[in-house]
A and B are shown apart, each in its own frame.
Chain A
Amino acid sequence: MIKPIIAGLGLAAVLPALALAECAEVSQGDLSVRAAWSRATIGTARPAVFYVTIQNNGSTDDRLTGIETRVAGMPMLHETVTKDGVASMPHADAIDIPAGKTVSLAPGGYHGMLMNLEAELKEGESFPVTLQFEKAGEVSIDTEVLPIRAREAACGVAP
């Protein structure tokens, strides 16, 4: 009787810590890249999304110029622009990562658009994405596939 309660309490203490698990983080040069996530897809007909947080710890500006991943034949950088209540998502040639700043690809703003999916993205899986930076070069990070209803990274994201 007591044991399950203790186990339950233990689990209750551990679960929030797990839920706010540390994000996978990859550092290269002045940049650190973390909190890479995507939403599960239904089949491969619709494009998937890629979100990530990039921190520039250095004193020189850098730029994200492209992304590559084996899960999509046509990955691209997009920016959702909402003007007068109307949203569109033009292609972004590059995303500035200014010195000392943190930039997030996040819902409603910049996103990686993963078109021509090779396979369905299933919740709980992960896939690698390589980010191409003008100065820091290529950085690969493991991207978590979250539920289709996810609105943010599963690990705590610094704003």
Chain B
Amino acid sequence: MLKTIRIALWIAVAVSLVVVGVLLWRADRQEQAAAFRPAFSLPDETGAIHTTEEFKGKYVLVFFGFTNCPDICPTTMSEVAQVMDDLGPQAEKVQPVFISVDPARDRASGLDEYLAAFHPAILGLAGDEASTRAAVESFKVFADPEKAASAPGGYTMSHSSSLYLLGPRGDWLRQFEYGTPADDITADLKGRL
């Protein structure tokens, strides 16, 4: 009698585990279907490849730009630097990433030195044409070498100027449009951390 009850209980445990497993699996699949997870796989200045996967567990602030842009790129990097300073110890949970849309020129002129002048936490990535295009397309942003004789190197660059925020699981959370004050970005991040 006791043995029968014990077996019945074990069966109940097994069934509930399976049910929970199926529910979790379905929830995960639903979330995966709902979440937009843009990705990049690009080298830093030393050639080491960095992927979105690497930053799981952190919030990632992504900016597409090029260092020959003297106006909005430094302004945005300054805002990001301010955010990192203002986050204090919580800054450990945030990874700012600058993806070059003019990789050949940015590698030649020293991407790391430039970004470090704003904040040492900013990771600069500059790939080849294919991997850069892949990142741009994955984030559904825009970057295009624009023919213009007025810029050094013969062209300037139209590019998406927002900051993109990815969550700890790599899902796209929101964008901060150009000109969003550092305080607003910091407040948003503190609300999530």
Give the bracket for the number of chain A residues in contact with chain B: 20 to 34
On whether the beta carbons of B70 and A47 are closer than 8 Å, the reply is yes
Partner of A80, one of B72, B79, B142, B146: B72
A89 within 8 A of B: yes
The stretch from A4-12, A15-23, A59-67, A144-152 touching chain B is A144-152
A115 cross-chain contacts in B, Cβ below 8 A: 151-152
B77 cross-chain contacts in A, Cβ below 8 A: 149
A124 within 8 A of B: no
How far, in angstroms, from A108 to B70 measured CA to CA in the complex?
10
A57 within 8 A of B: no
Give the bracket for the number of chain B residues in contact with chain A: 35 or more
B38 → chain A, closest Cβ, in Å? Answer: 15
List residues 71-121 of chain B with CB under 8 A from any CB of chain A: 71-72, 74-75, 77-79, 81-82, 108-110, 113-114, 117-118
B174 → chain A, closest Cβ, in Å? Answer: 13
A40 cross-chain contacts in B, Cβ below 8 A: 117
Considering the complex, give the chain A residue whose CB is closest to the CB of B178.
A82
B178 → chain A, closest Cβ, in Å? Answer: 6
B21 within 8 A of A: no
How far, in angstroms, from A42 to B178 measured CA to CA in the complex?
24
On whether the beta carbons of A78 and B71 are closer than 8 Å, the reply is yes
B67 within 8 A of A: yes
B177 within 8 A of A: yes
On whether the beta carbons of B159 and A150 are closer than 8 Å, the reply is no
What 0/1 readout, one digit per residue, does chain A (87-110) give for beta carbons within 8 Å of chain B? 111110000000000000001100
On whether the beta carbons of B67 and A91 are closer than 8 Å, the reply is no
A86 within 8 A of B: yes
How far, in angstroms, from A48 to B73 measured CA to CA in the complex?
12
Partner of A87, one of B109, B150, B178: B178
On whether the beta carbons of A113 and B70 are closer than 8 Å, the reply is yes
* Most chain A beta carbons < 10 A, residue from B70, B78, B110: B70
How far, in angstroms, from A111 to B157 measured CA to CA in the complex?
16
B75 cross-chain contacts in A, Cβ below 8 A: 107-108, 151
A132 cross-chain contacts in B, Cβ below 8 A: none
On whether the beta carbons of B70 and A86 are closer than 8 Å, the reply is no
On whether the beta carbons of B109 and A88 are closer than 8 Å, the reply is no
B177 cross-chain contacts in A, Cβ below 8 A: 85
On whether the beta carbons of B68 and A47 are closer than 8 Å, the reply is yes
How far, in angstroms, from A41 to B160 measured CA to CA in the complex?
24
13 chain-A/chain-B pairs, Cβ below 8 angstroms: A43-B110, A46-B109, A47-B70, A49-B74, A80-B72, A85-B178, A88-B146, A107-B71, A111-B71, A113-B70, A148-B74, A149-B78, A149-B82
Given A42-B117, A76-B150, list of 14 further CB < 8 A pairs?
A: A45-B108, A46-B109, A85-B142, A85-B160, A85-B162, A85-B178, A86-B158, A87-B161, A89-B69, A113-B71, A113-B151, A114-B70, A149-B78, A149-B81
Chain A residues within CB distance 8 Å of chain B: 39-40, 42-43, 45-49, 74, 76, 78, 80, 82, 85-91, 107-108, 111, 113-116, 148-151
